[in-house]
Amino acid sequence: MIQDLADKHQLVSNIFKLPKTPEEWDLYRLSEEQVSHFHEYGYLSGIKMLNEDQIETLKTELAEIIDPKHPAHELFYEFNSNESEDPNSVLFHSLGHWRITPGFHDALWNPAFIMAAHQLLEKRPVRFWHDQLFCKPAKHGGVVAWHQDYSYWTRTVAMQHLTCWTGLDDASIENGCLHYIPKSHRWGLLDAPSLAGDMNGLMNYLSEEQKEMFKNPVAIELEKGHATFHHPLMVHGSYENKSEMSRRAFVLNVFADGTASNTNDELLSGVPPIAKGDKMEGKFFPLLFGGT
Asked whether residue 112 is domain-assigned, the answer is: yes
List the one residue out of 263, 248, 78 whose CA is nearest residue 169: 248
Confidence check: pLDDT of 90 > 80: no
Tell me the H-state helices in 150-215: 208-213
With 0-12 / 13-18 / 19 or more C-beta atoms within 10 angstroms meaning exposed / middle / buried, residue 53 is: exposed
1 pLDDT more than 80:
no
- What is the value of pTM for the model shown? 0.96
Is residue 2 situated within a structural domain? Answer: no
Range in 100-109, 193-202, 252-261 the model is least confident about: 193-202
Confidence grade of residue 193 (pLDDT, cut at 50, 70, 90)? confident
In a domain, 289, yes or no: no
Q: Please report which confidence band the pLDDT of residue 177 belongs to, taking 50, 70 and 90 as the band edges.
A: very high
For residue 285, which of 117, 104, 98 has the smallest C-alpha distance?
Answer: 98
> 5 pLDDT exceeds 70?
yes
Q: How confident is the model at residue 96 (pLDDT cuts 50, 70, 90)?
A: very high
Q: Taking residues 4-12, what's their average pLDDT?
A: 98
Domain that holds residue 53: 28-267+274-283
CB–CB of 142/86 below 8 Å? Answer: yes
- pLDDT band for position 192 (50/70/90)? confident
Task: Establish if 192 belongs to a structural domain.
Answer: yes
91 part of a folded domain: yes
Q: What angle do CA 49, 50, 52 make, to 5 degrees?
A: 155
Count of residues making up the chain:
292
Residue 96 covered by a domain: yes
Q: Where are the alpha helices (DSSP H) in 96-251?
A: 102-106, 111-120, 208-213
% the chain with pLDDT above 70: 99
* Total domain count, the chain: 1
Distance, CA of 127 to chain centre: 14
Mean pLDDT of the chain: 95
Alpha carbons 153 and 160: distance in angstroms, whole number? 11
Distance in angstroms (rounded) separating the CA atoms of residues 157 and 169: 33
CATH number at residue 115: 2.60.120.620
8 found inside a domain: no
131 DSSP 8-state letter = E
- Helix 111-120 with 32-41: angle, nearest 10 deg: 60
pLDDT reported for residue 88: 66
| 188 band by pLDDT with thresholds 50, 70 and 90 | very high
129-143, 194-208, 223-237, 243-257: segment of lowest average pLDDT = 194-208
**Per-residue pLDDT, 204:** 86
Q: Is residue 11 part of a domain?
A: no
pLDDT single digits (tens) 46-85: 999 999 999 999 999 999 999 999 999 999 999 998 876 7
Backbone angles phi, psi at 111, to 5 degrees: -60, -30
pLDDT, position 195: 80
pLDDT at residue 84, rounded to an integer: 67
Closest CA to 51 of 223, 182, 218, 209: 223
Sequence-ordered list of residues with C-beta below 8 angstroms from that of 264, at least 6 positions apart, any chain: 273, 275, 276
pLDDT above 80: residue 292: no
